[in-house]
Amino acid sequence: MINQSTFKVGEKIVLPDLSEKLNLTSSIFFVREIFAGGMGTCLKIQNKNDNHYALKIIHKKLLEGEKDTARYINEMKTWLTLSACNAVVEAFCITKVNGIPCISAKWMKGGDLRSQLVQQNSTLFYQSIDRIISTLNWAYQKYSIIHRDLKPENILLDSNKNALVADWGLAKSIAKNSKVSNDSPKKNFGKRIDLTEAGSFLGTIVYASPEQITGQKSIDQRSDIYSMGCIMYEWETGSPPFWGKSAEEIAIQHLRSKPKPLGGFLKRTNFKVEKIIQKCLEKEPNERFQTHEELLKAFRKIASKHSTFEKFVINERFKMPEIGASE
């Protein structure tokens, strides 16, 4: 029996679902690398033909009952559906390891975007951000889906350094005309216990929108636009817009503080998108870009002046039914 919290490099895992999905000759895989996270464990697994895949397994403690398990599986179905997009990391199937639901996906050889943030490569910046925003727009326009967990670690790169959006486990289907909650930030702040759980939430709180932090029930694409502002700010400066010793300290800055300004009369920015970043990082959603399309238009206008990048065009790898349909 495999204990998902104590995997060992070299350990054998049998995954008939993955083998059947990909028409592999064997269902035996071996663990080659282990990456522990706050929500679960990601394994790099290898088959006998030396092909690598990712296996993401949620912590068992997060699945306390049938309701939690059903919700998690539905979240994984969302990723499977969105895998039709050529800029989404392709998920292959939902399977189980020791009775715990997990999802297998393509292994991305280029690592994640974190490794590229120290690079002041304008072409890479413009191409990557263009791909990400285009993908978010596709997911929202076609399925009314928002990501809710955008961060450098969830943007993976292929061998050609093309950016693909991964980890749609917190993605949420929303009504496009939903109203933002009128509950006050102060009222909801104390209820967000996970703000102080640095081990499981710190990586997200750095890029979370104010409305996510205050726990507003109805959020929309403008929340992901805020997160994109945080990512672009960090790529420009080397540091996220807000940082602190605890998740709660960072959260308070998201709610109350203005980020240090980019550029100025005597200082030039690397990517010339400081005004775009500033608008993305507005505290009030109504003061940000209102849609991904609006953001994309403004971004491409600047990018075309300072780079020879080609606008990214969404293609679908295959046709998928509505989320959860034709199971």
pLDDT, tens only, 284-325: 999 999 999 999 999 999 999 988 888 999 999 987 766 655
Total length of the chain: 327
Contact 208, 254 (CB under 8 A): yes
For residue range 148-179, what is the model confidence (pLDDT) as tens digits? 999 999 999 999 999 999 988 777 765 443 33
* Least trusted range by pLDDT, from 17-26, 27-36, 109-118, 170-179: 170-179
Please name the residue that has the structure tokens 């039709």.
Answer: 84
The percentage of the chain sitting over the pLDDT mark of 90, rounded to a whole number, equals: 64
Confidence of residue 17 (pLDDT cuts 50, 70, 90): very high
In this prediction, residue 37 carries a pLDDT of 76
Contact 56, 39 (CB under 8 A): no
In this prediction, residue 49 carries a pLDDT of 92
Instruction: Please give the average per-residue pLDDT across 110-123, as a whole number.
Output: 92
The vertex-130 CA angle with 154 and 86, nearest 5°, equals 65
In this prediction, residue 5 carries a pLDDT of 53
pLDDT value at 266 more than 70: no
In this prediction, residue 174 carries a pLDDT of 59
pLDDT value at 196 more than 80: no
Confidence of residue 119 (pLDDT cuts 50, 70, 90): confident
Q: How many CB atoms lie within 10 A of CB 117?
A: 18
In this prediction, residue 71 carries a pLDDT of 79
Q: What is the CATH number of domain 113-306?
A: 1.10.510.10
3-class DSSP string for the chain: CCCCCCCCCCCEEECHHHHHHCCCCCCEEEEEEEEECCCEEEEEEECCCCCEEEEEEECHHHCCCHHHHHHHHHHHHHHHHHCCECCECCEEEEEEECCEEEEEEECCCCCEHHHHCCCCCHHHHHHHHHHHHHHHHHHHHHHCEECCCCCHHHEEECCCCCEEECCCCCCEECCCCCCCCCCCHHHHHCCCHHHHCHHHHHHHHCCCCHHHHCCCCCCCHHHHHHHHHHHHHHHHHCCCCCCCCCHHHHHHHHHHCCCCCCCCCCCCCCCCCHHHHHHHCCCCHHHCCCCHHHHHHHHHHHHHHHCCCCCCCCCECCCCCCCCCCC
CA-based nearest residue to 283, from 178, 208, 175, 206: 208
In this prediction, residue 326 carries a pLDDT of 54
Q: What is the CATH number of domain 12-106?
A: 3.30.200.20
Domain ranges of the chain: 12-106, 113-306
pLDDT value at 181 more than 60: no
Instruction: Please give the average per-residue pLDDT across 17-28, as a whole number.
Output: 95
In this prediction, residue 72 carries a pLDDT of 81
In this prediction, residue 177 carries a pLDDT of 39
Instruction: Please give the average per-residue pLDDT across 8-12, as a whole number.
Output: 94
In this prediction, residue 175 carries a pLDDT of 46
CA-based nearest residue to 261, from 236, 297, 244, 285: 236
For residue range 203-232, what is the model confidence (pLDDT) as tens digits? 479 999 999 999 887 899 999 999 999 999
The percentage of the chain sitting over the pLDDT mark of 70, rounded to a whole number, equals: 86
Confidence of residue 265 (pLDDT cuts 50, 70, 90): low
Across the chain, mean pLDDT equals 85
In this prediction, residue 263 carries a pLDDT of 78
Instruction: Say how far apart CA 300 and CA 322 lie, in whole Å.
Output: 31
Instruction: Please give the average per-residue pLDDT across 111-127, as a whole number.
Output: 93
